[in-house]
Structure 1
């Protein structure tokens, strides 16, 4: 309850701050929507030259892309830690974080929130609804609960990978980071993994499991029964990778000796 109370208070303060600069927040939201629109146009351009991509139709890939946007929006809103190494390690702000009686990762998450990124989830749901109507998909009464479970699992996959990468900063204080590269690799998860070769498919499933953010959970709703096993592994993989990232983070914090060293 203490952590929940802190989250609510931080969100309230965040909204007060952001609403002081409404135009700036609107520009950020529009920029995100434009980026998502460009990616959707790319899919449409690809299917302007072919009807199927390794057995996947245009509407199916659009559905996968829409699903991908939802957990990614959740991740982007609460795990905006791409500059953790430079801001908290190199510039020494981690010292301030560690003086407070609350878990350090939770503090970093609260400080780096970007709740406007949640608009991406709305875009994703709209895109999914459009594709579902074209595919004439039917859903069961329990599918919304499975959808929420898969979304949380996908967001935890992203969070686990990027928290793990941020934790490297406790061992290396270099300004360079592999965060941008990892963001680019993550984009592969919004396309069917069977369009890639076997090595990339293995990496996206078990090493950097971005496929559990988009294609695998989407396969359940697309009635791709051959992928059901992977789909229901989504929350398991998400939980395991996030727990691993917490272990790495806590180990790194214990090793951390302060900016002065």
Structure 2
């Protein structure tokens, strides 16, 4: 309950700050929506030249993209730590974090939250709704629970991967370009895994499991029974990768030497 209370206090302060600069907030939301629209247009352009992509039709690809946007939006809202090394290690703000009686990872997640990214959830649900209607999809009563498990599983996969990368800063305070590269790799999870080479499929499934954020869980709702086994692994992969990242974080904090002079 203590951490729940802390979350709402951080969120309250964040909203007060963002509402002070309303125009900036609106511009940022519009920019995110525009970026999502561009990606959607890219899919439409591709299907302007073909009717199927490795056995997937246009509406199915659009559904997968919409599904992907939901866990990605949650990740972007609550695990925005792309600049951890620069801000907390190089500039020494980690010293301030470690003086407080709250877990350091929780503090940093709260300090870096971007709640306006949650609009991506609405966009994703709208795209899924459109594609699902076009495909004539039907859902059982328990599919809402399955959906939530898949969504949070995907969010924790993303969080686990990027927190693990951030922990590199505890051992090396040099600037790296790993974060931007990983964001680009994560985009591969928006599309069906079977359109890639088998090596890429293996990497996106077991090494950097971004396929569990988009295509695998979405395949369950698209009634692609051949992918069900992977789909139901999504929450397991989320718990596994997030647990690994927390372990690496706690180990890294013990190795942290401080900002020094």
TM-score range (shorter-chain normalised) is: over 0.9
The two structures, once aligned, show a CA RMSD in angstroms of: 0.6
Deviation of residue 100 (structure 1)?
Answer: 0.2
Q: How far apart are the structure 1 equivalents of 2:16 and 2:43?
A: 38
The corresponding residue for 1:137 is 137
Shift of 1:166: 0.2
Shift in Å at residue 257 of structure 1? 1.1
The CA distance in 1 between the partners of 2:237 and 2:172, in whole Å, is 27
Using the TM superposition, give the Cα deviation of residue 75 of structure 1 relative to its aligned residue in structure 2, in angstroms: 0.1
Long gaps (5+) in structure 2 = none
Report the more deviating stretch, 174-183 or 110-119.
Answer: 174-183
Residue 237 of structure 2: aligned partner: 237
1:175 deviates by 1.7
Residues 81-100 of structure 1: per-residue CA shift (max 9 Å, x gap): 00000100000000000000
How far residue 176 of structure 1 moved from its aligned partner, in angstroms, is: 2.2
Alpha-carbon separation, structure 2, partners of 1:137 and 1:215: 16
Deviations 1:171-227 (A, max 9, x none): 110122300000000000010000001100000000000000000000000000000
Partner of residue 110, structure 2: 110
Matched, 1:34 2:34: yes
Distance 1:177 1:245 in 2: 19
How many residue pairs get aligned? The number is: 261
Structure 1: gaps (5+ residues): none
Q: Where does residue 170 of structure 2 map in the other structure? A: 170
- SS in structure 2 opposite 1:139? coil
Determine the structure 2 residue equivalent to 1:47: 47
* Paired residue secondary structure (1:64): helix
For the residue of structure 1 that corresponds to 2:175, the secondary structure is coil
CA distance in 2 between partners of 1:187 and 1:90 (Å) = 28
Aligned pairs (5 A) from 1:153-168: 153-168=153-168
**Counterpart position of 1:96:** 96
Q: Provide the C-alpha distance between the structure 1 equivalents of 2:21 and 2:259, rounded to a whole number of angstroms.
A: 33
Aligned position for 1:215: 215
Question: What is the DSSP-based 3-state SS (H/G/I as helix, E as strand, rest coil) of the residue aligned with 1:56?
Answer: coil
Using the size of structure 2 for normalisation, the TM-score is 0.99
**TM value normalised by structure 1:** 0.99
Counterpart-to-counterpart distance in 1, 2:174 and 2:122: 37
**Equivalent residue number for residue 24 of structure 2:** 24
Q: Deviations over 1:48-85 (max 9, x none)?
A: 00000010000000000000000000000001000000
Residue 145 of structure 1 and its aligned partner are, at CA, apart by 1.1
Cα distance in 2, alignment partners of residues 28 and 72 from structure 1: 16
